[in-house]
Structure 1
Amino acid sequence: MGKLKKAIKKLWRCASGTAEACGVGVMSPIGVHWYIQDNHVVLDNGILRVTLSNPDGIVTGVCYNDIDNMLEVLNDESNRGYWDVVWNALDGSRTGVFEVIKGTTFNVIKDTEEQVEVSFSRPWDPSMQGKLIPLNIDKRFVLLRGSSGFYTYAIYEHVGSPEWPAFTLGETRIAFKLRKEKFHYMAIADNRRRFMPLPDDRLPNRGQPLAYPEAVVLINPVEPELKGEVDDKYQYSCDNKDLKVHGWISMDPPVGFWQITPSDEFRSGGPLKQNLTSHVGPTMLAVFVSGHYAGDDLNPKFGQGEPWKKVFGPVFIYVNSVMDGQDPLTLWEDAKRQMSVEVQSWPYNFPASEDFEKADQRGSVSGKLFVSDRYASSDNIPANGAFVGLAPPGDAGSWQRECKDYQFWVRADETGYFSINNVRTGNYNLYAWVPGFIGDYKNEAPITITSSGQIDVGEIVYQPPRDGPTLWEIGIPDRTAAEFYAPDPDPKYVNRLFINHPDRFRQYGLWDRYSELYPNEDLVYTVGKSDYTKDWLFAQVNRKKPDNTYQGTTWQIRFVLDTVIPTGTYKLRVAIASASLAELQVRVNNPKANRPLFSSGLIGRDNSIARHGIHGLYWLYSVDIQSGALVQGDNTIFFTQPRNQSPFQGLMYDYIRLEAPPQ
């Protein structure tokens, strides 16, 4: 009799679900329910209805308020809301394979009036070798009672068995394609939001491709006021640490569609890793693994039979609305408020997978970080604003290239105190870097996090690289080139959002402005006279020649030494914020010396110059300059970047310092 009542209840719930009006905007009296409809699974909580293909697990529809589907109905169902991967077989048999992840089995994991969680899984076996990425993948979707949005997460697994082949994971993410006739306003940050071009504006009769396919200048846009603007998705990239909420607003009807990422723990590369966000489509992304602004170093590589499992997410897809007559732009403010709610709720208590550790299964690490630099202060300096994190064991600074497992980062307060909470169980090192100081800190004592374990490391001290007193310095050690001069763009290639904007470096084509600013001679910086905010360009790029080829450049730093310590070694510290297939050669007082005093060799695949970033991976070099190479009076250090096959090869400097011998 109990089974019969349950079956009748299920049938009633399914029937009521199909009959309800879409998106009533109030809590359903029957809570959350699900039902099968043709080849789809529908999740419904009376506020929104999410439709997923069965058994693929592609989000084909999001029904809310008066919109029967917020996703692009003109697209094929497989191109609306999906998880995807890009992968390579390490034996070279498959490269750059793009794969939309499609499940083969549908299961209901949890079914109550408070929560429905469904799974679309796809196991891998050797018969799929070379056809599908060698991972077991379980995509989950969760709808909660009273929630104006839904959650999604996935568990990826590479089994520790010899028949599981080696491969590289180039990228994995979630993508949503929204209705192009409705969603025209995009928001990523308070100062990075605007009405966007339409996808039609990128078609050949309306847009002209520039130096690479992602960049298009609008020559005949649907909205004439956008004529002459550049559209490029890389102009809207964002650091992980700042990438918690972004999305789109429809003005009529006034609704918003947002992607909220409450934690960075499952994203690769740490807090400074940059990822794509939203862009013309209208497209909205949640990127977890990618080589953007880093190159192959941030593409995890798995050996044959290497065991690995990771939970990506959950992320929250949030929808909101205002009443007619209210300002639709307030939806951005509401999305930020909801983001704060989600962040405070992390780690979530509702995911049913045992692979997602809940709060009572996690541990914490706290302490106080100080900086010891006797040339800056005789006392230890509280590491105000330091980035302090736990990442898998490695060398100092290895966290920025770590892309397989989890990382946990916080900012220290003005006293240097930090508390890293809700850390998954496992083995870690404690890392840090401190704005205002060069280099990376690593606590040599390994840290093992246990369930509910609380570790206090006490007072710890970072000694940044330092040999002697500062003779001169250029820039601010903050791992970016943001403080240096970014020129105005060519008027033909402007994104009006970034005019008089703190992120003016995001304009297209700045690499060619160097040739106009310095047509014959390269940049010269005179210590004590020049101003690095005006006289040091944000990137050392190649010079464009009249025949459209490029040549490397040599920058000069001129300085005066009142005296030279005859038996000492001077130390040149060069912190590089980004390198793109570049080389740094250093010469002192002889620009034509056959062999440079120092060469970095070929470094970096950040591509930050082309992608409008202000940093990529961090490099720190310390160059010994013997006193015999210097003279009393005028001296010059030459920085040569000789690699010149493209306009995008070059260096971005973070900070440069010359130290006298120890005193």
Structure 2
Amino acid sequence: MANEILQLDIQDHHVVMDNGILQVTLSKPDGNVTGIKYNSIDNVLEVDDKETHRGYWDLVWNSGTSGTTGTFDEMRGKEFEVMVQNEEQIELSFKRNYSFKDKAVPLNIDKRFIMLRNSSGFYSYAIYEHMREWPPFNLPQTRIVFKLRKDKFHYMAIADDRQRFMPLPEDRLRHRGKPLDFPEAVLLVNPKEPEFKGEVDDKYQYSCENKDLKVHGWISMDPPVGFWQITPSSEFRSGGPLKQNLTSHVGPYALAMFLSAHYSGEDLVLKLSPDEPWKKVFGPVFFYLNSVSDGGDPLSLWEDAKTQMSIEVQSWPYSFPASEDFPPPNQRGRLTGKLFVLDRYINEEKMPATDAYVGLAAPGEAGSWQTENKGYQFWTKTDADGSFSIEHVRIGDYNLYAWVPGFIGDYRYDVLINVSPGSDMDVGDLVYEPPRNGPTLWEIGIPDRSAAEFYIPDPDPKYINKLYVNHPDRFRQYGLWERYAELYPDADLVYSVGVSDYTKDWFFAHVNRKRNDGSHLATTWEIKFRVDNIIDKSGTYTLRVALATANVAELQIQVNNPEAKPSLFTTGMIGHDNAIARHGIHGLYRLYSVDILGSLLVEGENTIFLSQIINSSSFNGVMYDYIRLEGPPSDSISLQNS
């Protein structure tokens, strides 16, 4: 099929791009993908659906109300234009400009589709623009959706160890499935294929962090064809490398998520104020199709898709998009440097920050990158010696941010970084001094922004997803929050420093206890530890509590007296991350530091009480990342673990 001629057929209501490998049909001027002809399949998209529901961009917006919901808009274009047509490339534009008389989202939207010669796929990107004089609004979500043929695409792949045959969409209907505690989760009680009976289907079980979300898709076994969504860069995604997004789910659907509030709540809703101009390019992303010859293994299509993903990553940033709003490689900049960590209670010398995450994002406070959603972010990881190189950065002003696994807190370089076309800057040696007041007396967990190291129980046998049995991502099973009440039916968790093992004795989520009548009881966990000698009662100890997520929770902390009023510390109501319900092991990272006067401690056994006091649902709660008690700065204490 090599060296086929690119053809463009413009019809009354459709336009067809054809490079001899595949043929893509779009509605005109809407800009929805209505057909993809590939190999022996006339249309890989769901032919039983309306044309508008097969392949489309969409968004959710509201006029400024709180929350993460709003009006659903499929972003249908009103103007069609051929931007590029030559022997190597076709690029099409489907544009919709905002008018004050419209009730639509106040955005100019330009959706682009690109086909290249000899390419087994096509690209899409879009430019969103809000003018200063237009009404303010909120944008909770935007994405690209493809619904594939349910009679062919039954096997889904997200990662080497996250792939499986999937149920059918009919299996989620009322007569075949039983809705569970939230609408996305359905127990399959009478599926068309008996092998899925007793399984839970829930799209959130297939979420993935941005840093790992580069290729995912579906395989048809007969004929052996793959459909893949490849995202070569996360620069246009909100929330940074740890932000979790949906991938693929029963439908069969394949998604390219750009902006969402999943695992973060309203903090990730893009909010444009009055008189605030804004423009952003989402994409390009690549939709790749592949096949194997007769007798070949259809599952090998996943390996080929990963190879193609690597090619796309190496080709980023692309040089072929026609929009001047997407800068090519020579219009971008580069930043290098070396990051060290200085924690004098571990080492008096600075240490290389190995495998640290370093990134450029919009100016803000330390850690603000995880809720940033209007601009672009550029992340990398440091080498063994702490060196890093951030490539292909768009022009603009940024702060440099970092965090280091094994250490708490967030780093921000205080000098504003200005990136200009072709710039190559070296910031030299940077030193992060993580929060620390005194020596570590004890610690629980690993400071890595995740609760994955804690005890994650087996699921209730009636709520199984077979993919995650004996799997590293066992936390993705449904209903694990209910296991807490089964493990602690009468009294809450008690952890004894020096005796307990956090991998076995610290439940991964601090949730409510569900009663038999369906109501919920707030829970208080205890950490018991010994102090054998308090030299200075006026000294200050520091409790560091790092949270991996919080959902409509309030954490109150007491020392030795759980009834003291007011509590020694409270977070107030925090979080709408929903990571507990959505099987995520983290959401937004939060770090709290609590001063404890030596006079509150006693020689002998002491107890810290952690109370999560909001008890309106099973999903109120927090996940801890890491807890540490530090002694006073001077050597005024000896601790005996027991």
TM-score (norm 2): 0.98
Deviations 1:322-370 (A, max 9, x none): 0111110000000001000000000000000000011000001100000
What is the correspondence of 1:236-275 to structure 2 with a 5 Å cutoff? 236-275=206-245
Separation of aligned partners in 1, 2:68 and 2:442 = 51
Post-superposition CA distance 1:80-112 (Å, at most 9, x none) = 000000001026899610110100000000000
In structure 1, the gaps of 5 or more residues are: 1-25
Aligned mates of 1:479, 1:91 — CA distance in 2: 31
Q: Does 1:35 align with 2:6?
A: no
- Hey, what does 1:282 align to over in structure 2? 252
Tell me, yes or no, if the aligned pair for 1:514 and 1:541 is still in contact at 8 Å.
yes
In the other structure, the counterpart of 2:32 is 58
SS in 2 for 1:580: strand
Runs of 4+ that moved beyond 3 A: 91-95
- Residue 5 of structure 1 corresponds to none
CA contact (8 A) 2:359 2:379 kept: yes
- Measured after TM superposition, the shift of residue 127 of structure 1 is 0.6
Contact 2:113 2:123 (C-alpha < 8 Å) held by counterparts: yes
Find the partner of 1:633 among 578, 590, 604. 604
Measured in 1, the distance between the counterparts of 2:466 and 2:530 equals: 42
Whether 1:596 and 2:535 are equivalent positions in the alignment is: no
Matching residue of 2:175: 205
Q: Is the 8 A contact 1:565 1:661 kept in 2?
A: no
Selected match of 1:425 from 375, 390, 395: 395
Asked if 1:145 is matched to 2:120, the reply is no
Indicate the larger mover: 198-207 or 406-415.
198-207
Deviations 1:426-461 (A, max 9, x none): 000000000000000000000000000011000010
Q: Specify the code of the residue in structure 1 equivalent to 2:584.
A: G
Letter in 1 for 2:244: Q
Asked if 2 retains the 8 angstrom alpha-carbon contact of 1:27 and 1:45, the reply is no
- Partner amino acid for 1:534? K
Structure-1 residue corresponding to 2:337: 367
State the shift of 1:382 in Å.
0.3
Report the residue type matching 2:123 in the other structure. Y
Question: SS where residue 126 of structure 1 aligns?
Answer: coil
State the percentage of identical aligned residues: 67
Alignment match, 2:633: 662
SS at match of 1:343: helix
SS in 2 for 1:511: helix
Residues 468-505 of structure 1 show CA distances to partners (whole Å, capped at 9, x for unaligned) of: 11000000000010100111111111101111111111
1:489 and 1:508 in contact (8 A); partners too: yes
Aligned partner of 2:554 among 556, 572, 583: 583
- The AA in structure 2 aligned to 1:113 is E
Correspondence for 1:165? 135
Unaligned runs of 5+ in 2: 635-642
Cα distance, 1:203 vs structure 2 = 1.1
What corresponds to 1:84 in structure 2?
A: 58
Q: What residue is the counterpart of 1:507 in the other structure? A: 477
SS at match of 2:324: coil
The structural deviation recorded for 1:594 is 2.4
The structure 1 residue matched to 2:451, chosen from 481, 504, 525, is 481
Q: Secondary structure at the match of 2:398?
A: strand
Q: Which residue of 2 aligns with 1:607?
A: 578
Give the match's secondary structure for 1:68. coil
Matches within 5 A, 1:116-135: 116-128=90-102, 131-135=103-107
- The residue type equivalent to 1:498 in the other structure is Y
Asked whether the 8 Å contact 1:215–1:232 carries over to 2, the reply is: yes
Q: Are 1:69 and 2:40 matched, yes or no? A: no
Deviations 1:565-600 (A, max 9, x none): 323100000000000000110000011212210000
Moved more, 326-335 or 587-596: 587-596
The DSSP-based 3-state class of the residue aligned with 1:127 is: coil
Contact 2:22–2:121 (CA<8 Å) still a contact in 1? yes
Please tell me whether residue 573 in structure 1 is matched to residue 544 in structure 2.
yes
The answer to whether the 8 A contact 1:363-1:422 is kept is yes
Which residues of 2 match residues 176-191 of structure 1 at below 5 A? 176-191=146-161
Work out which of the residue numbers 80, 87, 93 in structure 2 matches 1:106.
80
> 1:450 aligns to what?
420
In structure 2, the residue matched to 1:548 is 518
Aligned to 2:620: 649
Q: Would you say 1:223 and 2:193 are equivalent positions?
A: yes
Cα distance change, pair 95–329 in 1 and its aligned pair in 2 (3 A): closer
Q: Alignment partner for residue 273 of structure 2, among 303, 321, 332? A: 303
Structure 2 counterparts to residues 256-405 of structure 1, below 5 A: 256-405=226-375
**C-alpha separation in 2, matches of 1:95 and 1:632:** 53
- Equivalents in 1 of 2:533, 2:240: separation in Å? 44
Residue 536 of structure 1 is matched in structure 2 by 506
RMSD: 1.1
Between 1:234-243 and 1:561-570, the stretch displaced more is 561-570
Q: Which residue of 2 aligns with 1:16?
A: none
Measured at CA, do residues 467 and 91 of structure 1 come closer, stay the same or move farther in structure 2, by a change above 3 Å? closer
